[in-house]
């Protein structure tokens, strides 16, 4: 269970949002919505440990993630706008490297199976620098299968994905929820499987710039 408690964030000398509270349970997807500048990506950064909040807590299974940051990091997979891949390496070697950073060693066949599942059969030995933006995104998505984390934190996961890939990705997210996982994400895409999706509108927690500066 992921809990956000009284969270506030600042940017550029003003407060983006404050008083944010929500809970994400196993088997659910939480979509952050709101206008540009509302702080959706900032909130994901805070959950992923890439930013420090101005106030409040991120809690995992009843405890602040600061209590055991390494434990939480092992339970969470983050995918941002950048794929985080080395252009000179092929998808298999990239995934081996990224998994090794998390202390995981996975059989090559298991990596091939994950790449096949995201539609990259036949590209296993192609240097990532030669892949399209959408194919690079698929390599990054294959990492989600392999890391085995219950919590996925995803910033615009549908970016650069073609029509066929959109359906595969939707199924990936819904399957993760059905298997007891949970996903906190942003997207401008209208997903199928909406019965699994809760929406949380950050616009309700925006803090006016002029009010904060006074």
Closest among 187, 196, 135 to 165, alpha carbons compared:
135
The neighbour count for residue 149, using CB atoms within 10 Å, is: 19
Separation of alpha carbons 28 and 14, rounded Å: 32
Map out the domains of the chain with their CATH numbers.
2-213 (3.40.50.300)
Beta bridge partners of 77: 152
Beta bridge partners of 117: none
* Residues near 63 by beta carbon (within 8 Å), at least 6 away in sequence: none
Separation of alpha carbons 154 and 17, rounded Å: 20
Q: What is the pLDDT of residue 52?
A: 94
* pLDDT tens digits, 98-147: 999 888 889 999 999 999 988 899 999 999 999 999 899 999 999 998 99
Q: Is the pTM of this model over 0.85?
A: yes
* pLDDT tens digits, 152-180: 999 998 888 888 788 888 888 889 999 99
């Amino acid at each position: 269970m992921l809990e956000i408690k009284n969270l506030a964030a600042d940017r550029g000398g003003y407060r983006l949002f404050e008083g944010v509270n929500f809970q994400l349970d196993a088997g659910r997807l939480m979509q952050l919505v709101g206008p540009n500048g509302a702080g959706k990506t900032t909130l994901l950064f805070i959950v992923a440990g890439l930013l420090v909040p101005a106030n409040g807590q991120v809690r995992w299974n009843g405890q602040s993630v600061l209590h055991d940051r390494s434990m939480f990091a092992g339970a969470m997979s983050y995918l941002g706008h950048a794929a985080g891949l080395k252009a000179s390496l092929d998808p298999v070697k990239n995934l081996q490297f990224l998994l090794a950073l998390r202390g995981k060693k996975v059989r090559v066949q298991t990596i091939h199976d994950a790449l096949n599942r995201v539609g990259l059969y036949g590209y296993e030995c192609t240097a990532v620098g030669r892949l399209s933006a959408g194919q690079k995104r698929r390599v990054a998505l294959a990492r989600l299968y392999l890391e085995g984390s219950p919590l996925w934190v995803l910033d615009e996961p549908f970016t650069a994905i073609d029509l066929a890939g959109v359906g595969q990705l939707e199924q990936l997210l819904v399957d993760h929820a059905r298997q007891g996982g949970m996903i906190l994400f942003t997207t401008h895409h209208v997903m199928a499987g909406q019965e699994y999706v809760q929406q949380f509108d950050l616009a309700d927690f925006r803090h006016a710039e002029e009010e904060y500066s006074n």
